[in-house]
Structure 1
Protein backbone atom coordinates (compact mmCIF):
# COMPACT_ATOMS: atom_id res chain seq x y z
CA UNK A 1 0.00 0.00 0.00
CA UNK A 2 1.34 3.40 -0.95
CA UNK A 3 1.05 6.14 1.65
CA UNK A 4 1.50 9.82 0.98
CA UNK A 5 2.72 12.28 3.58
CA UNK A 6 3.16 15.99 3.10
CA UNK A 7 5.90 17.54 5.24
CA UNK A 8 5.22 21.18 5.99
CA UNK A 9 8.17 23.51 6.50
CA UNK A 10 8.41 25.84 9.44
CA UNK A 11 6.75 29.22 8.84
CA UNK A 12 8.33 32.34 10.32
CA UNK A 13 5.94 35.21 10.99
CA UNK A 14 7.75 38.51 11.00
CA UNK A 15 6.27 41.45 12.83
CA UNK A 16 7.65 44.97 13.25
CA UNK A 17 8.46 46.39 16.66
CA UNK A 18 9.80 49.78 17.73
CA UNK A 19 11.41 48.59 20.99
CA UNK A 20 14.85 47.01 21.08
CA UNK A 21 14.90 43.77 23.05
CA UNK A 22 18.14 42.28 24.38
CA UNK A 23 18.16 38.49 24.31
CA UNK A 24 20.57 36.37 26.32
CA UNK A 25 21.79 33.68 23.96
CA UNK A 26 23.09 30.32 25.23
CA UNK A 27 26.79 30.24 26.05
CA UNK A 28 29.08 27.28 26.57
CA UNK A 29 32.85 26.70 26.56
CA UNK A 30 34.26 25.75 23.13
CA UNK A 31 34.18 22.06 22.34
CA UNK A 32 35.68 19.85 19.69
CA UNK A 33 33.04 19.50 16.96
CA UNK A 34 33.28 16.60 14.51
CA UNK A 35 31.30 15.83 11.35
CA UNK A 36 32.23 12.19 10.76
CA UNK A 37 29.19 10.98 8.83
CA UNK A 38 30.63 8.84 6.04
CA UNK A 39 28.25 8.25 3.12
CA UNK A 40 28.95 5.17 1.04
CA UNK A 41 28.18 4.31 -2.54
CA UNK A 42 28.56 0.56 -2.11
CA UNK A 43 28.92 0.00 -5.88
CA UNK A 44 32.40 1.57 -5.74
CA UNK A 45 35.48 -0.54 -5.04
CA UNK A 46 37.09 2.18 -2.92
CA UNK A 47 35.84 5.14 -0.92
CA UNK A 48 37.46 8.46 -0.01
CA UNK A 49 36.06 9.34 3.40
CA UNK A 50 35.98 12.92 4.66
CA UNK A 51 35.89 14.13 8.26
CA UNK A 52 35.53 17.77 9.31
CA UNK A 53 36.89 18.98 12.63
CA UNK A 54 35.96 22.34 14.16
CA UNK A 55 36.07 24.17 17.44
CA UNK A 56 32.57 25.18 18.51
CA UNK A 57 31.91 28.87 19.07
CA UNK A 58 29.29 31.02 20.73
CA UNK A 59 25.67 30.97 19.54
CA UNK A 60 25.13 32.52 16.06
CA UNK A 61 28.89 32.44 15.31
CA UNK A 62 30.52 30.11 12.81
CA UNK A 63 32.62 27.20 13.98
CA UNK A 64 36.37 27.53 13.44
CA UNK A 65 38.22 24.88 11.38
CA UNK A 66 40.67 23.02 13.57
CA UNK A 67 43.92 21.13 12.96
CA UNK A 68 44.34 18.08 15.18
CA UNK A 69 47.30 15.81 15.88
CA UNK A 70 45.82 12.63 14.42
CA UNK A 71 42.63 11.14 12.94
CA UNK A 72 42.18 7.48 12.08
CA UNK A 73 39.53 4.75 11.82
CA UNK A 74 40.22 1.19 12.90
CA UNK A 75 38.28 -1.96 12.02
CA UNK A 76 39.47 -4.94 14.06
CA UNK A 77 37.01 -7.22 12.22
CA UNK A 78 38.43 -6.40 8.80
CA UNK A 79 40.81 -8.86 7.12
CA UNK A 80 42.19 -7.31 3.90
CA UNK A 81 42.80 -9.59 0.95
CA UNK A 82 46.20 -8.00 0.47
CA UNK A 83 48.38 -8.91 3.51
CA UNK A 84 50.37 -5.70 3.02
CA UNK A 85 47.30 -3.62 3.84
CA UNK A 86 46.19 -2.91 7.41
CA UNK A 87 42.88 -2.61 9.22
CA UNK A 88 43.54 1.06 9.97
CA UNK A 89 42.71 4.08 7.79
CA UNK A 90 44.74 7.21 8.52
CA UNK A 91 43.34 10.61 7.54
CA UNK A 92 45.36 13.57 6.28
CA UNK A 93 44.45 17.25 6.34
CA UNK A 94 43.59 18.47 2.82
CA UNK A 95 42.16 21.87 3.86
CA UNK A 96 41.78 23.69 7.18
CA UNK A 97 39.84 21.32 9.42
CA UNK A 98 39.13 18.85 6.57
CA UNK A 99 40.66 15.36 6.69
CA UNK A 100 40.47 12.66 4.02
CA UNK A 101 41.46 9.04 3.72
CA UNK A 102 40.89 6.40 1.02
CA UNK A 103 40.24 2.72 1.62
CA UNK A 104 38.48 -0.18 -0.09
CA UNK A 105 34.72 0.12 0.49
CA UNK A 106 34.54 -3.31 2.13
CA UNK A 107 36.60 -1.87 5.00
CA UNK A 108 33.61 0.30 5.92
CA UNK A 109 30.82 -2.24 5.44
CA UNK A 110 32.03 -5.11 7.64
CA UNK A 111 32.38 -5.24 11.41
CA UNK A 112 32.74 -2.57 14.07
CA UNK A 113 34.48 0.68 13.18
CA UNK A 114 36.15 2.93 15.74
CA UNK A 115 37.11 6.57 15.25
CA UNK A 116 40.16 7.98 17.06
CA UNK A 117 41.05 11.67 17.26
CA UNK A 118 43.83 13.30 19.26
CA UNK A 119 43.69 17.03 19.90
CA UNK A 120 45.37 19.26 22.48
CA UNK A 121 46.78 16.19 24.32
CA UNK A 122 43.28 14.72 24.68
CA UNK A 123 41.94 11.60 22.98
CA UNK A 124 38.43 11.20 21.54
CA UNK A 125 36.72 7.97 20.54
CA UNK A 126 33.55 6.79 18.84
CA UNK A 127 32.34 3.51 17.38
CA UNK A 128 29.72 2.49 14.85
CA UNK A 129 28.71 -0.10 12.27
CA UNK A 130 27.62 0.25 8.66
CA UNK A 131 23.89 0.84 8.11
CA UNK A 132 22.25 0.03 4.73
CA UNK A 133 19.24 1.80 3.22
CA UNK A 134 16.75 1.53 0.35
CA UNK A 135 17.21 3.13 -3.10
CA UNK A 136 15.02 5.94 -4.43
CA UNK A 137 12.25 4.66 -6.72
CA UNK A 138 11.04 8.01 -8.04
CA UNK A 139 12.06 11.65 -7.80
CA UNK A 140 10.03 14.23 -9.68
CA UNK A 141 8.70 17.76 -9.42
CA UNK A 142 5.11 18.17 -8.28
CA UNK A 143 2.56 20.92 -8.90
CA UNK A 144 1.21 21.46 -5.39
CA UNK A 145 2.00 24.48 -3.20
CA UNK A 146 1.39 25.44 0.41
CA UNK A 147 0.28 28.84 1.65
CA UNK A 148 2.17 31.48 -0.36
CA UNK A 149 1.82 29.63 -3.65
CA UNK A 150 5.54 30.19 -4.38
CA UNK A 151 6.79 26.91 -2.94
CA UNK A 152 8.36 24.18 -5.09
CA UNK A 153 7.20 20.60 -4.52
CA UNK A 154 9.35 17.54 -5.10
CA UNK A 155 7.87 14.05 -4.80
CA UNK A 156 10.07 11.20 -3.65
CA UNK A 157 9.28 7.52 -3.18
CA UNK A 158 11.16 4.42 -2.06
CA UNK A 159 10.33 0.86 -0.99
CA UNK A 160 11.13 -0.08 2.59
CA UNK A 161 12.89 -3.38 3.31
CA UNK A 162 10.39 -5.44 5.29
CA UNK A 163 13.05 -7.75 6.77
CA UNK A 164 14.42 -5.12 9.16
CA UNK A 165 13.49 -2.03 11.16
CA UNK A 166 14.75 0.95 9.18
CA UNK A 167 15.49 4.56 10.01
CA UNK A 168 16.07 7.09 7.26
CA UNK A 169 17.75 10.48 6.89
CA UNK A 170 16.93 12.55 3.81
CA UNK A 171 19.28 15.25 2.56
CA UNK A 172 17.35 17.76 0.45
CA UNK A 173 20.40 19.94 -0.28
CA UNK A 174 20.92 23.48 1.08
CA UNK A 175 21.38 22.08 4.63
CA UNK A 176 17.77 20.85 4.66
CA UNK A 177 17.32 17.45 6.30
CA UNK A 178 14.43 15.21 7.28
CA UNK A 179 14.21 11.99 9.30
CA UNK A 180 11.72 9.14 9.07
CA UNK A 181 11.24 5.61 10.41
CA UNK A 182 9.36 2.69 8.89
CA UNK A 183 7.03 1.97 11.81
CA UNK A 184 3.92 2.70 9.71
CA UNK A 185 5.11 1.61 6.26
CA UNK A 186 7.38 -1.36 6.88
CA UNK A 187 7.89 -3.39 3.72
CA UNK A 188 5.78 -0.98 1.66
CA UNK A 189 6.36 1.70 -0.93
CA UNK A 190 6.35 5.11 0.72
CA UNK A 191 5.79 8.36 -1.17
CA UNK A 192 5.84 11.90 0.21
CA UNK A 193 6.24 15.50 -0.86
CA UNK A 194 8.84 17.98 0.29
CA UNK A 195 8.39 21.72 -0.23
CA UNK A 196 11.12 24.31 -0.82
CA UNK A 197 10.63 28.04 -0.29
CA UNK A 198 10.59 30.71 -2.98
CA UNK A 199 14.40 30.80 -3.17
CA UNK A 200 14.33 27.85 -5.59
CA UNK A 201 14.32 29.01 -9.22
CA UNK A 202 13.63 27.28 -12.58
CA UNK A 203 16.72 25.60 -13.97
CA UNK A 204 18.20 25.08 -10.53
CA UNK A 205 19.78 21.69 -9.86
CA UNK A 206 19.01 19.97 -6.55
CA UNK A 207 20.79 16.91 -5.18
CA UNK A 208 18.59 14.70 -3.00
CA UNK A 209 19.74 11.61 -1.16
CA UNK A 210 18.44 8.94 1.19
CA UNK A 211 20.73 7.58 3.90
CA UNK A 212 20.45 4.72 6.34
CA UNK A 213 20.65 5.26 10.09
CA UNK A 214 20.48 3.24 13.26
CA UNK A 215 18.08 4.36 15.98
CA UNK A 216 20.73 6.30 17.88
CA UNK A 217 21.82 8.33 14.83
CA UNK A 218 18.16 8.87 13.89
CA UNK A 219 17.41 10.28 17.36
CA UNK A 220 20.49 12.49 17.26
CA UNK A 221 19.64 13.96 13.85
CA UNK A 222 16.02 14.48 14.89
CA UNK A 223 17.13 16.61 17.85
CA UNK A 224 19.70 18.59 15.89
CA UNK A 225 17.30 19.31 13.01
CA UNK A 226 14.73 20.68 15.45
CA UNK A 227 17.27 22.90 17.20
CA UNK A 228 18.89 24.20 14.02
CA UNK A 229 15.53 24.56 12.20
CA UNK A 230 17.35 22.85 9.29
CA UNK A 231 18.06 26.20 7.68
CA UNK A 232 21.30 27.90 6.65
CA UNK A 233 22.80 27.02 10.00
CA UNK A 234 22.78 23.30 9.15
CA UNK A 235 22.73 20.34 11.53
CA UNK A 236 26.51 20.25 11.96
CA UNK A 237 26.90 23.85 13.06
CA UNK A 238 26.53 25.02 16.66
CA UNK A 239 22.89 24.28 17.65
CA UNK A 240 20.77 26.31 20.06
CA UNK A 241 21.55 23.84 22.83
CA UNK A 242 24.11 21.10 23.13
CA UNK A 243 23.00 17.87 21.47
CA UNK A 244 25.16 15.01 22.60
CA UNK A 245 26.46 12.67 19.92
CA UNK A 246 28.52 9.50 20.19
CA UNK A 247 32.05 10.95 20.36
CA UNK A 248 33.59 10.61 23.83
CA UNK A 249 36.67 12.05 25.48
CA UNK A 250 38.61 8.97 26.61
CA UNK A 251 41.73 10.69 27.92
CA UNK A 252 43.13 8.55 30.74
CA UNK A 253 40.52 5.80 30.28
CA UNK A 254 41.88 2.29 29.77
CA UNK A 255 38.71 0.20 29.40
CA UNK A 256 36.80 1.26 26.31
CA UNK A 257 34.29 -1.58 26.71
CA UNK A 258 32.32 0.44 29.24
CA UNK A 259 31.18 3.39 27.13
CA UNK A 260 28.07 3.82 29.26
CA UNK A 261 30.15 5.09 32.19
CA UNK A 262 31.99 7.49 29.89
CA UNK A 263 28.64 8.94 28.79
CA UNK A 264 28.06 10.26 32.30
CA UNK A 265 30.94 12.74 32.11
CA UNK A 266 30.61 16.28 30.78
CA UNK A 267 33.85 16.10 28.80
CA UNK A 268 32.74 15.15 25.30
CA UNK A 269 32.88 16.35 21.70
CA UNK A 270 29.98 17.62 19.62
CA UNK A 271 29.06 15.81 16.43
CA UNK A 272 28.57 12.23 15.33
CA UNK A 273 30.39 9.28 13.80
CA UNK A 274 28.29 7.16 11.43
CA UNK A 275 28.93 5.05 8.34
CA UNK A 276 25.83 4.77 6.16
CA UNK A 277 24.76 3.71 2.70
CA UNK A 278 23.54 6.56 0.48
CA UNK A 279 21.48 6.67 -2.70
CA UNK A 280 21.48 10.01 -4.50
CA UNK A 281 19.55 11.50 -7.40
CA UNK A 282 19.50 14.92 -9.04
CA UNK A 283 16.48 16.91 -10.19
CA UNK A 284 16.43 20.11 -12.27
CA UNK A 285 13.58 22.43 -11.36
CA UNK A 286 11.31 23.45 -14.26
Structure 2
Protein backbone atom coordinates (compact mmCIF):
# COMPACT_ATOMS: atom_id res chain seq x y z
CA UNK A 1 0.00 0.00 0.00
CA UNK A 2 2.86 2.34 0.85
CA UNK A 3 4.50 1.78 -2.56
CA UNK A 4 1.17 2.27 -4.30
CA UNK A 5 0.61 5.52 -2.39
CA UNK A 6 4.06 6.81 -3.40
CA UNK A 7 3.45 5.87 -7.05
CA UNK A 8 0.08 7.66 -7.13
CA UNK A 9 1.59 10.70 -5.44
CA UNK A 10 4.36 10.91 -8.04
CA UNK A 11 1.83 10.68 -10.88
CA UNK A 12 -0.23 13.44 -9.25
CA UNK A 13 2.81 15.71 -9.01
CA UNK A 14 3.81 15.07 -12.64
CA UNK A 15 0.42 15.82 -14.14
CA UNK A 16 -0.41 18.68 -11.78
CA UNK A 17 2.78 20.49 -12.88
CA UNK A 18 1.85 20.58 -16.58
CA UNK A 19 1.58 24.10 -17.95
CA UNK A 20 0.75 25.39 -21.39
CA UNK A 21 3.71 27.29 -22.82
CA UNK A 22 3.08 29.86 -25.55
CA UNK A 23 6.06 30.12 -27.87
CA UNK A 24 6.36 33.43 -29.66
CA UNK A 25 7.93 33.06 -33.10
CA UNK A 26 9.93 35.92 -34.53
CA UNK A 27 7.97 37.67 -37.28
CA UNK A 28 9.25 36.96 -40.77
CA UNK A 29 8.89 38.93 -43.98
CA UNK A 30 6.23 37.59 -46.32
CA UNK A 31 7.37 36.04 -49.59
CA UNK A 32 5.67 35.88 -52.94
CA UNK A 33 4.59 32.35 -53.93
CA UNK A 34 4.25 31.63 -57.66
CA UNK A 35 2.43 28.50 -58.88
CA UNK A 36 3.02 28.40 -62.65
CA UNK A 37 3.13 24.79 -63.80
CA UNK A 38 1.56 24.63 -67.28
CA UNK A 39 0.34 21.12 -68.14
CA UNK A 40 0.41 20.65 -71.91
CA UNK A 41 -1.93 18.31 -73.80
CA UNK A 42 -0.42 18.14 -77.29
CA UNK A 43 -3.80 17.22 -78.78
CA UNK A 44 -5.14 20.68 -77.88
CA UNK A 45 -4.57 23.85 -79.90
CA UNK A 46 -3.42 26.00 -76.97
CA UNK A 47 -1.51 25.35 -73.75
CA UNK A 48 -3.33 26.11 -70.47
CA UNK A 49 -1.45 29.19 -69.28
CA UNK A 50 -2.37 30.03 -65.68
CA UNK A 51 -0.24 31.67 -62.99
CA UNK A 52 -1.47 31.77 -59.38
CA UNK A 53 0.17 34.17 -56.92
CA UNK A 54 -0.12 34.11 -53.13
CA UNK A 55 1.91 35.39 -50.17
CA UNK A 56 3.28 33.63 -47.12
CA UNK A 57 1.48 34.79 -44.02
CA UNK A 58 3.33 33.43 -40.99
CA UNK A 59 4.71 30.03 -40.00
CA UNK A 60 1.44 28.38 -39.02
CA UNK A 61 -0.90 30.33 -41.29
CA UNK A 62 -2.12 29.60 -44.79
CA UNK A 63 -0.98 31.62 -47.76
CA UNK A 64 -3.17 34.55 -48.76
CA UNK A 65 -4.15 35.50 -52.30
CA UNK A 66 -2.34 38.55 -53.61
CA UNK A 67 -2.29 40.68 -56.77
CA UNK A 68 0.51 41.69 -59.12
CA UNK A 69 1.44 45.21 -60.15
CA UNK A 70 -0.40 45.05 -63.46
CA UNK A 71 -0.23 42.18 -65.93
CA UNK A 72 2.39 39.44 -66.02
CA UNK A 73 4.27 38.76 -69.26
CA UNK A 74 5.11 35.41 -70.84
CA UNK A 75 7.81 35.36 -73.53
CA UNK A 76 8.47 32.26 -75.60
CA UNK A 77 10.65 31.46 -78.57
CA UNK A 78 14.11 30.33 -79.63
CA UNK A 79 16.86 32.30 -77.85
CA UNK A 80 19.39 34.39 -79.72
CA UNK A 81 22.43 32.06 -79.99
CA UNK A 82 24.76 35.05 -79.65
CA UNK A 83 23.25 36.14 -76.32
CA UNK A 84 21.10 33.36 -74.85
CA UNK A 85 20.77 34.99 -71.41
CA UNK A 86 18.85 38.05 -72.54
CA UNK A 87 15.11 38.54 -72.86
CA UNK A 88 15.45 39.21 -76.61
CA UNK A 89 13.92 36.14 -78.24
CA UNK A 90 13.70 35.47 -81.95
CA UNK A 91 10.14 36.37 -82.96
CA UNK A 92 9.89 33.59 -85.55
CA UNK A 93 8.31 30.60 -83.85
CA UNK A 94 7.53 32.52 -80.67
CA UNK A 95 5.80 35.52 -79.21
CA UNK A 96 4.59 37.39 -76.16
CA UNK A 97 1.49 36.81 -74.05
CA UNK A 98 0.07 39.34 -71.58
CA UNK A 99 -1.47 37.65 -68.52
CA UNK A 100 -4.25 39.42 -66.64
CA UNK A 101 -6.26 38.65 -63.50
CA UNK A 102 -9.38 37.72 -65.46
CA UNK A 103 -11.39 37.11 -62.27
CA UNK A 104 -10.73 40.06 -59.92
CA UNK A 105 -9.41 39.04 -56.51
CA UNK A 106 -8.52 35.49 -57.56
CA UNK A 107 -4.76 35.95 -57.84
CA UNK A 108 -4.90 33.86 -61.03
CA UNK A 109 -3.41 35.35 -64.21
CA UNK A 110 -4.33 34.05 -67.65
CA UNK A 111 -4.02 35.27 -71.28
CA UNK A 112 -5.72 38.67 -71.35
CA UNK A 113 -9.04 38.35 -73.26
CA UNK A 114 -9.34 42.14 -73.65
CA UNK A 115 -6.33 42.42 -75.98
CA UNK A 116 -6.94 43.07 -79.67
CA UNK A 117 -4.69 40.12 -80.53
CA UNK A 118 -5.21 36.59 -79.24
CA UNK A 119 -2.91 36.19 -76.22
CA UNK A 120 -3.23 32.43 -76.00
CA UNK A 121 -0.09 30.34 -76.62
CA UNK A 122 -0.20 27.90 -79.53
CA UNK A 123 0.75 24.35 -78.58
CA UNK A 124 2.54 23.77 -81.89
CA UNK A 125 4.81 26.77 -81.33
CA UNK A 126 5.35 26.17 -77.62
CA UNK A 127 6.49 22.56 -78.07
CA UNK A 128 9.03 23.29 -80.81
CA UNK A 129 12.53 21.98 -79.98
CA UNK A 130 14.68 24.70 -78.45
CA UNK A 131 11.79 26.88 -77.32
CA UNK A 132 12.44 28.76 -74.09
CA UNK A 133 9.76 30.29 -71.86
CA UNK A 134 10.38 33.35 -69.70
CA UNK A 135 7.84 34.57 -67.13
CA UNK A 136 8.12 38.16 -65.89
CA UNK A 137 5.98 39.74 -63.18
CA UNK A 138 5.99 42.63 -60.73
CA UNK A 139 4.77 42.47 -57.13
CA UNK A 140 4.86 45.28 -54.58
CA UNK A 141 7.47 47.16 -56.55
CA UNK A 142 9.76 44.15 -57.03
CA UNK A 143 10.43 42.52 -60.40
CA UNK A 144 10.60 38.74 -60.70
CA UNK A 145 11.57 36.45 -63.58
CA UNK A 146 11.76 32.72 -64.25
CA UNK A 147 12.95 30.67 -67.20
CA UNK A 148 12.17 27.12 -68.29
CA UNK A 149 11.99 24.82 -71.31
CA UNK A 150 9.26 22.42 -72.41
CA UNK A 151 9.62 18.93 -70.86
CA UNK A 152 8.02 16.06 -72.81
CA UNK A 153 7.04 12.76 -71.22
CA UNK A 154 6.01 9.22 -72.13
CA UNK A 155 2.38 8.11 -71.75
CA UNK A 156 1.08 5.73 -69.10
CA UNK A 157 0.95 2.22 -70.58
CA UNK A 158 -1.43 0.76 -68.03
CA UNK A 159 -3.16 1.33 -64.69
CA UNK A 160 -4.29 -1.73 -62.75
CA UNK A 161 -5.49 -2.35 -59.22
CA UNK A 162 -3.25 -4.70 -57.27
CA UNK A 163 -4.16 -6.92 -54.31
CA UNK A 164 -1.20 -6.16 -52.02
CA UNK A 165 -1.48 -4.04 -48.88
CA UNK A 166 1.03 -1.78 -47.13
CA UNK A 167 -0.14 -1.10 -43.56
CA UNK A 168 -3.86 -1.86 -43.55
CA UNK A 169 -6.08 -4.43 -45.22
CA UNK A 170 -8.09 -1.58 -46.77
CA UNK A 171 -5.06 -0.13 -48.57
CA UNK A 172 -5.58 0.39 -52.29
CA UNK A 173 -2.63 -0.64 -54.49
CA UNK A 174 -2.31 0.96 -57.91
CA UNK A 175 0.03 -0.71 -60.42
CA UNK A 176 1.46 1.82 -62.88
CA UNK A 177 3.29 0.78 -66.07
CA UNK A 178 5.39 3.09 -68.26
CA UNK A 179 7.99 2.62 -71.00
CA UNK A 180 11.12 4.74 -70.58
CA UNK A 181 12.83 6.41 -73.54
CA UNK A 182 16.31 4.86 -73.98
CA UNK A 183 19.70 6.57 -73.91
CA UNK A 184 18.60 9.78 -72.17
CA UNK A 185 17.99 11.00 -68.65
CA UNK A 186 14.26 11.14 -68.00
CA UNK A 187 12.37 12.48 -65.00
CA UNK A 188 8.72 11.97 -64.14
CA UNK A 189 6.22 13.57 -61.78
CA UNK A 190 3.10 11.50 -61.05
CA UNK A 191 -0.10 13.17 -59.90
CA UNK A 192 -2.34 10.53 -58.35
CA UNK A 193 -5.20 12.95 -57.61
CA UNK A 194 -6.27 13.96 -54.08
CA UNK A 195 -3.05 16.02 -53.80
CA UNK A 196 -0.86 12.89 -53.84
CA UNK A 197 2.34 13.04 -55.92
CA UNK A 198 5.47 11.02 -56.64
CA UNK A 199 8.79 12.03 -58.24
CA UNK A 200 10.63 9.30 -60.17
CA UNK A 201 13.75 9.16 -62.37
CA UNK A 202 14.95 6.47 -64.79
CA UNK A 203 18.33 5.79 -63.20
CA UNK A 204 17.64 2.05 -62.96
CA UNK A 205 15.05 1.59 -65.73
CA UNK A 206 16.67 3.27 -68.74
CA UNK A 207 14.94 2.17 -71.93
CA UNK A 208 12.80 -0.44 -70.17
CA UNK A 209 9.13 -0.99 -69.55
CA UNK A 210 8.66 -0.58 -65.82
CA UNK A 211 5.85 -1.30 -63.37
CA UNK A 212 5.66 -0.01 -59.81
CA UNK A 213 3.13 0.04 -56.97
CA UNK A 214 1.58 3.12 -55.43
CA UNK A 215 -0.54 2.92 -52.26
CA UNK A 216 -3.09 5.67 -51.74
CA UNK A 217 -3.03 7.62 -48.52
CA UNK A 218 -6.64 8.66 -49.03
CA UNK A 219 -9.26 6.08 -48.11
CA UNK A 220 -10.92 4.94 -51.34
CA UNK A 221 -14.04 2.83 -51.73
CA UNK A 222 -15.22 0.62 -54.60
CA UNK A 223 -16.50 2.84 -57.40
CA UNK A 224 -14.33 5.83 -56.45
CA UNK A 225 -12.43 7.30 -59.40
CA UNK A 226 -9.00 8.94 -59.50
CA UNK A 227 -7.50 10.89 -62.38
CA UNK A 228 -3.85 9.86 -62.67
CA UNK A 229 -1.38 12.02 -64.60
CA UNK A 230 2.25 11.68 -65.62
CA UNK A 231 4.13 14.97 -66.08
CA UNK A 232 7.44 15.61 -67.79
CA UNK A 233 10.24 17.27 -65.84
CA UNK A 234 13.81 18.40 -66.21
CA UNK A 235 16.37 17.73 -63.48
CA UNK A 236 15.73 21.05 -61.69
CA UNK A 237 11.95 20.58 -61.52
CA UNK A 238 12.40 16.95 -60.44
CA UNK A 239 14.73 17.97 -57.59
CA UNK A 240 12.35 20.73 -56.51
CA UNK A 241 9.33 18.41 -56.40
CA UNK A 242 11.32 15.70 -54.64
CA UNK A 243 12.25 18.13 -51.84
CA UNK A 244 8.71 19.50 -51.59
CA UNK A 245 7.28 15.97 -51.32
CA UNK A 246 9.68 15.10 -48.50
CA UNK A 247 8.57 18.18 -46.55
CA UNK A 248 4.84 17.74 -47.18
CA UNK A 249 4.70 13.96 -46.84
CA UNK A 250 2.39 14.08 -43.84
CA UNK A 251 0.63 17.38 -44.46
CA UNK A 252 -0.05 17.42 -48.20
CA UNK A 253 -0.22 20.62 -50.18
CA UNK A 254 2.81 20.46 -52.48
CA UNK A 255 2.02 23.89 -53.92
CA UNK A 256 1.59 25.54 -50.53
CA UNK A 257 4.39 26.99 -48.41
CA UNK A 258 6.82 24.19 -47.37
CA UNK A 259 7.90 23.69 -43.77
CA UNK A 260 11.35 24.97 -44.71
CA UNK A 261 12.17 27.19 -47.66
CA UNK A 262 12.67 25.20 -50.85
CA UNK A 263 14.14 27.39 -53.54
CA UNK A 264 12.41 27.25 -56.91
CA UNK A 265 13.33 29.01 -60.15
CA UNK A 266 11.58 32.38 -59.65
CA UNK A 267 14.14 35.10 -58.88
CA UNK A 268 13.89 38.68 -57.71
CA UNK A 269 15.65 40.55 -60.55
CA UNK A 270 14.87 44.08 -59.44
CA UNK A 271 17.60 46.38 -60.74
CA UNK A 272 19.52 43.63 -62.54
CA UNK A 273 20.51 44.25 -66.15
CA UNK A 274 18.81 41.96 -68.67
CA UNK A 275 22.08 40.36 -69.71
CA UNK A 276 22.45 39.05 -66.14
CA UNK A 277 18.79 38.33 -65.45
CA UNK A 278 19.32 34.67 -64.55
CA UNK A 279 22.75 35.06 -62.98
CA UNK A 280 21.58 35.48 -59.39
CA UNK A 281 24.57 33.99 -57.59
CA UNK A 282 25.44 37.25 -55.87
CA UNK A 283 21.87 37.73 -54.56
CA UNK A 284 21.09 34.34 -52.97
CA UNK A 285 18.28 35.65 -50.73
CA UNK A 286 16.29 37.36 -53.49
CA UNK A 287 13.73 34.91 -54.81
CA UNK A 288 10.08 33.99 -54.64
CA UNK A 289 8.75 30.62 -53.54
CA UNK A 290 7.12 28.30 -56.05
CA UNK A 291 8.05 27.14 -59.53
CA UNK A 292 7.60 27.88 -63.22
CA UNK A 293 7.48 24.86 -65.56
CA UNK A 294 5.98 23.90 -68.92
CA UNK A 295 5.45 20.14 -69.02
CA UNK A 296 3.68 17.57 -71.15
CA UNK A 297 0.89 15.66 -69.42
CA UNK A 298 -0.84 12.36 -70.10
CA UNK A 299 -3.92 11.43 -68.04
CA UNK A 300 -5.81 8.21 -67.38
CA UNK A 301 -8.71 7.43 -65.04
CA UNK A 302 -8.51 4.71 -62.41
CA UNK A 303 -11.70 3.28 -60.84
CA UNK A 304 -11.48 1.32 -57.60
CA UNK A 305 -12.91 -2.18 -57.84
Deviation at 1:255, TM superposition (A): 3.4
2:300 alignment partner in structure 1: 281
In 1, are the aligned partners of 2:267 and 2:280 still within 8 Å (CA)? Answer: no
- Of 67, 79, 97, which aligns to 1:89? 97
| Count of residue correspondences | 264
Helix, strand or coil for the counterpart of 1:221?
helix
Helix, strand or coil for the counterpart of 1:223?
helix
Q: Does 1:66 align with 2:66?
A: yes
**Structure with a larger share of its residues in strand:** 1
1:53 alignment partner in structure 2: 53
2:147 alignment partner in structure 1: 127
Alignment RMSD (CA, Å): 2.1
In 1, are the aligned partners of 2:77 and 2:92 still within 8 Å (CA)? Answer: no
In 1, are the aligned partners of 2:39 and 2:48 still within 8 Å (CA)? Answer: no
Instruction: After superposition, give the CA deviation of every residue in 1:168-213 in whole Å (9 maximum; x if it has no partner).
Output: 1111111111111101000001111110136222221101111111
- Of 243, 250, 270, which aligns to 1:251? 270
Helix, strand or coil for the counterpart of 1:48?
coil
Q: Which runs of 5+ in 1 are unaligned?
A: 1-17
Deviation at 1:107, TM superposition (A): 3.3
Greater relative CO (CA pairs within 8 A, separation 6+): 1
Alignment of 1:88-237 (within 5 A): 88-95=96-103, 96-101=106-111, 102-110=120-128, 111-197=131-217, 199-229=219-249, 231-232=251-252, 234-237=253-256
> Which shifted more, 222-231 or 157-166?
222-231
* TM-score, normalization by structure 1: 0.85
In 2, are the aligned partners of 1:250 and 1:262 still within 8 Å (CA)? Answer: no
Pick the structure with greater CA Rg: 2
- Of 272, 289, 297, which aligns to 1:270? 289
* TM-score, normalization by structure 2: 0.80
In 2, are the aligned partners of 1:70 and 1:119 still within 8 Å (CA)? Answer: no
Helix, strand or coil for the counterpart of 1:220?
helix
Deviation at 1:58, TM superposition (A): 1.7
Matches of 1:176 and 1:27, distance apart in 2:
31
Instruction: After superposition, give the CA deviation of every residue in 1:235-263 in whole Å (9 maximum; x if it has no partner).
Output: 11011000000100111111344623346
> Which shifted more, 275-284 or 88-97?
88-97
> Which shifted more, 50-59 or 267-276?
50-59
Change (3 A) 1:93 1:152: same
1:14 alignment partner in structure 2: none
